[in-house]
Amino acid sequence: MRAVVVRSFGGPGALEVVEVPVPPTGVGQVRIRVEAAAVNPVDVATRSGLLATAGLMAPREITGIGWDVAGRVAEVGGGVTEFAPGDRVIGLRDRLDVSLGTYAEFVVLDADAVAPAPTGVSAVEAATLPLNGLTALQALDLLGLQSGATLLVTGAAGAVGGFAVELAALRGLRVVAAAGTEDEPFVRAAGAEWFVPRSTDLAEGVRAVVPSGVDGAVDAALLGVRALAAVRNRGSFVSVRDGVAPVPLRGITVKEQWVAAHGPALAGLSSLAERGLLSLRVADALPLDRAAEAHERLAEGGLRGRLVLTP
């Protein structure tokens, strides 16, 4: 099969399309024929060697790229009863100890990292859900806010931030969304009660509408102390990337969140997307052999929605 890999870490040009054996399906696993794989910042961190430098990946001859997948089950391993060949599924490849990612014609995942794909949604759209949807969901779970509480979401128009706004609103949270001025219509439609342009002082903007400070924050834009300043004393704060969380000033509980595959949670997100309650945004779809171009476009910024590769 064809797969995109890196032999030597570097820029987008380090991405190669190579022929590799189709991976075997083990006990408790499913092999998925990939129909779409979203392009995420973590893929850039993998390709560039940032994850390896951080000690998150062991050295290997080739390094596969890609976490998100949408496709059809091609084969099930022993003990798997919840899926059958032909099923439309989505999944998350969160293991960094394997040599192939989802930028490929096939990928093998543990069955508990897979969920039914939302019906009525294309594979390209569905591929944008697993990583970013689970990141947003798990960040909100870490905060543990009750209905009626106030929440700041930074980067509210981004892939993680957009899902965080929608999921928070569904939980009855009162959301302050921070994003670019041009994104105000989207974040308000997603459920934000208040909007703060990112061009203004964040803490001042938030406290203008929630004077005592918000009860919690999901820092999808990785603003750190600037976002922390908008949180009330003894509130809660979650950074969606390890290693960048601010010092827990003023008794604020600060946590870092690294996404974990979870089939049942992903199935819940899939159901919400199927009902039109989550926005699956696609910036563009490109063939697998244009992965380097996709990484270049991601680096340029300004995208609304994910770029998606199709084998």
Task: Give domain limits for the chain.
Answer: 2-129+280-310, 132-256
Cα separation of 234 and 246, whole Å?
Answer: 14
pLDDT digits (tens, 9 = 90+) for 109-127: 999 999 999 999 999 999 9
Find the helix or strand (DSSP H, E) in which 5 lies. Answer: strand 2-6
Phi and psi for 207 in degrees, rounded to 5?
A: -75, -10
What amino acid occupies position 38?
Answer: A
What pLDDT is recorded for position 54? 86
Architecture in CATH for domain 132-256: 3-Layer(aba) Sandwich (3.40)
CA distance 294 to 217: 31
Query: What architecture is domain 2-129+280-310?
Result: Alpha-Beta Complex (3.90)
Query: What is the model's pLDDT at position 241?
Result: 77
Class of residue 21 by CB neighbours under 10 A (exposed 0-12, middle 13-18, buried 19+): exposed
* DSSP states of 159-216: HHHHHHHHHHHHTT-EEEEEE-GGGHHHHHHHT-SEEEETTS-HHHHHHHHSTT-EEE
Q: Tell me the whole-structure pTM to 2 decimals.
A: 0.96
Give residues with Cβ within 8 angstroms of 231, minimum separation 6. 152, 213, 214, 215, 216, 217, 237, 250, 252
pLDDT of 243 reads 65
Say what the pLDDT of residue 58 is: 85
- pLDDT (tens digit, 0 to 9) for every residue of the chain, 311 residues total? 999 999 999 999 999 999 999 999 999 999 999 999 999 999 999 999 999 998 888 888 999 999 999 999 999 999 999 999 999 999 999 998 888 999 999 999 999 999 999 999 999 999 999 999 999 999 999 999 999 999 999 999 999 999 999 999 999 999 999 999 999 999 999 999 999 999 999 999 999 999 999 999 999 999 999 999 999 999 999 999 766 789 999 999 999 999 999 999 999 999 999 999 999 999 999 999 999 999 999 999 888 999 999 99
Total residues found in the chain within this entry: 311
pLDDT at 72: 98
